Structure 1
């Protein structure tokens, strides 16, 4: 067996041990952030089929499965169950993502896991939650399903076209952030009381929760929020404006200072009846100046390149930004100055460029110390640490309880 993999000490989560049986994107994103912050993460993969991160497009696996060890284990098999429970004895956090109630069906209820480790924090991530109407709890779900069920999709797109899902995988990544925050809150409590907790995170609920300013629309029958497209349905000066070079500038006029700055910049008479002094926004349907402001911004942008318009409006204190594409992002000096992108090597020795650890910690920064592991590449090390002999490990391979792959 090769030398033991030593997780370097770094970051605010150094010393925290995480076991992950997370699938797809939402929960793995939370686990990746824990790993980026220094946690010792072991990723359990099913030997029955590869995770989507291994067969999906782009750098999904390389980006969101880095800094982890991999063991391939058939958890519900008798042998797999025994090994799985041993892995949890000294873990701090266990994260899984499956249909609601899947682990309970396997006889691996929270209570069974706590028998092994009373202080364990358990994070269940699913589309529809662990409780509720049974036919919903057991439904499969992916990012756009959560967007559709939460109402989020209904407000996205243009008013004259069908609703569309927001990209890329907004529901997955928002759910991942909820999983991270709740897991660390529970971990804090477990460290102070010795008592673990179980978190039931439904993806659609995370998406419903972020629509906080839509609560009025939810509570009033017949009240619907119009799909806005690239212009606000409520605020003038809020949306995309096309410049003379065909590129778009997104302008966001809001706040007393923002309104004052844009009105004065355009020479529209701040303090007038159309633009009263102190107004925090220029509201469509309420302000006499709303149509005037949008028209003047359209006329102004039509005479400027996007670079010129952004420079002049920014200098005047107006919030705006060129709608950047990926080519512009990877070469932008501010991205480069903040080291947003870094390079590392895959297990195959290929150099890749990906996103750095976010956010940046001043005293205990995170880092990328290991690329995405091959499936089950740490089987022998992990299982031998649990007390299994070489003969027992070989028998598990023969029974297909564990597996190795690329």
Structure 2
């Protein structure tokens, strides 16, 4: 049933995952499991593969720079899931897996004879992870659901951006990623349950619900007080000082000194200790009510200092502060280097490819990036041969007929 664990292979090295679907939400869940050692067999359409092979804002020599990250540590196997023979191969692979991940529209897997009831007939301990826009039930379940729609429905779009402007979005696919993270949590909980009971189950992760889960006290605030959170730009209402401030050399620094004791430290550094005992600023509530004037006072002080000496002074004084990082800053930062937050991975076309490392860090069974995203169908012979016992002639015939 499971992949053989080897020393140092990761905490999940005894798990075999079959990943179906494409783009980001389902594949990112599988990436997280693979980062910690799970054997991930990714099924892709013959000839084209996952569209993520072409996606990404920038490319290098015509190659996607997103694919090597989201498909890292995976085995690529081609399989035409719209073909009955491809569906049969998928069922045979899943029969030898612990987990299957899919992010198709609800009902698609059932039409292909790959619904959970069918799959668990040959594998009663199977855990099926289903990531969709709206979940497997409810009136919206049949709808196409992209991450951006889930972000809008879950509330994060309405509350992101500047007051008086249209709702904004973050510069990443946060809805898909959150659904994948919650799917991963659900998967690990289901694995724990199976270890105790021998019972598999379905993990149903919806994008809009993953976003909703991050919305703090938005719902009770509205239900009990009628307060609707609005877009507030770079600050949170009534949390001050916590903003981005200018410096003499044109940089911007973020200072978060909204706690009473930390605010007192900041006022000492500003040579304005009287502000910490001033009735207008001495409490969290008072500072929140005078956020704008307090930000003006701090901006006038930071504008008289260059960024680096200012940050050194703040850090020495115990005030949380930092610059707004770009990718260039991350590569240059010694803390990133000391923590090995960026790992460099060999790639056959791109050479040494930097990417974010595996997080979080485990002290005994750490995850690692074993290889970048593979070529399409790179593991056909190995997977179909080792797991299903197919020989070269059988594989050639399946390829000729477009099944793999």
TM-score of the superposition, structure 1-length normalised?
0.90
Structure 1 residue 327: deviation in Å? 1.0
Structure 1 residue 331: deviation in Å? 0.8
Equivalent in the alignment of 1:387: 389
In 2, Cα distance between equivalents of 1:20 and 1:239? 42
1:111 corresponds to 2:117: yes
Structure 1 residue 220: deviation in Å? 5.5
In 1, Cα distance between equivalents of 2:15 and 2:199? 16
Q: Is 99-108 or 325-334 further displaced after alignment?
A: 99-108
In 2, Cα distance between equivalents of 1:22 and 1:181? 19
Question: 2:129 pairs with 119, 123, 127, which one?
Answer: 123
Q: Secondary structure at the match of 2:101?
A: strand
Equivalent in the alignment of 1:28: 27
Q: Is 379-388 or 327-336 further displaced after alignment?
A: 379-388
Structure 1 residue 94: deviation in Å? 0.8
In 2, Cα distance between equivalents of 1:292 and 1:166? 28
Equivalent in the alignment of 2:323: 322
| RMSD over equivalenced CA pairs, Å | 2.1
Structure 1 residue 178: deviation in Å? 0.7
Question: 1:192 pairs with 193, 196, 202, which one?
Answer: 196
In 1, Cα distance between equivalents of 2:154 and 2:4? 42
In 2, Cα distance between equivalents of 1:349 and 1:208? 38
Structure 1 residue 103: deviation in Å? 0.9
Correspondence 1:93-108 to 2 at 5 A = 93-108=99-114
In 2, Cα distance between equivalents of 1:370 and 1:322? 32
Equivalent in the alignment of 1:231: 235
Equivalent in the alignment of 1:216: 220
For residues 140-191 of structure 1, give each alpha carbon's deviation from its aligned partner in whole angstroms, at most 9, with x where no partner exists. Answer: 2322221112121001011121111112111122122111111011011112
For residues 204-259 of structure 1, give each alpha carbon's deviation from its aligned partner in whole angstroms, at most 9, with x where no partner exists. Answer: 11001110221234425863212111133322211111212221111212323223
TM-score of the superposition, structure 2-length normalised?
0.91
Equivalent in the alignment of 1:42: 41
Equivalent in the alignment of 2:367: 366
For residues 272-322 of structure 1, give each alpha carbon's deviation from its aligned partner in whole angstroms, at most 9, with x where no partner exists. Answer: 32233xx3465433xxx5454222201111111222222222222221111
Question: 2:95 pairs with 89, 92, 101, which one?
Answer: 89
Decide whether the 8 Å contact of 1:347 with 1:373 is kept in 2.
no
Equivalent in the alignment of 1:336: 337
Equivalent in the alignment of 2:295: 294
Equivalent in the alignment of 2:182: 178
Structure 1 residue 101: deviation in Å? 2.4
Decide whether the 8 Å contact of 2:103 with 2:132 is kept in 1.
yes
In 1, Cα distance between equivalents of 2:214 and 2:236? 18
Equivalent in the alignment of 1:254: 258
In 1, Cα distance between equivalents of 2:18 and 2:97? 7
Q: Secondary structure at the match of 1:115?
A: coil
**Residue 222 to residue 334, structure 1, CA distance change in 2 (3 Å):** same
Number of residue pairs matched by the alignment: 391
Decide whether the 8 Å contact of 2:240 with 2:257 is kept in 1.
yes
Equivalent in the alignment of 2:159: 155
1:169 corresponds to 2:168: no
Give ranges in structure 2 of 5+ residues lacking alignment: 59-64
In 2, Cα distance between equivalents of 1:257 and 1:368? 41
Decide whether the 8 Å contact of 1:253 with 1:281 is kept in 2.
no
In 2, Cα distance between equivalents of 1:292 and 1:263? 15
Give ranges in structure 1 of 5+ residues lacking alignment: none
Structure 1 residue 356: deviation in Å? 1.4
In 1, Cα distance between equivalents of 2:105 and 2:312? 50
Decide whether the 8 Å contact of 2:281 with 2:287 is kept in 1.
no
Decide whether the 8 Å contact of 2:264 with 2:273 is kept in 1.
no
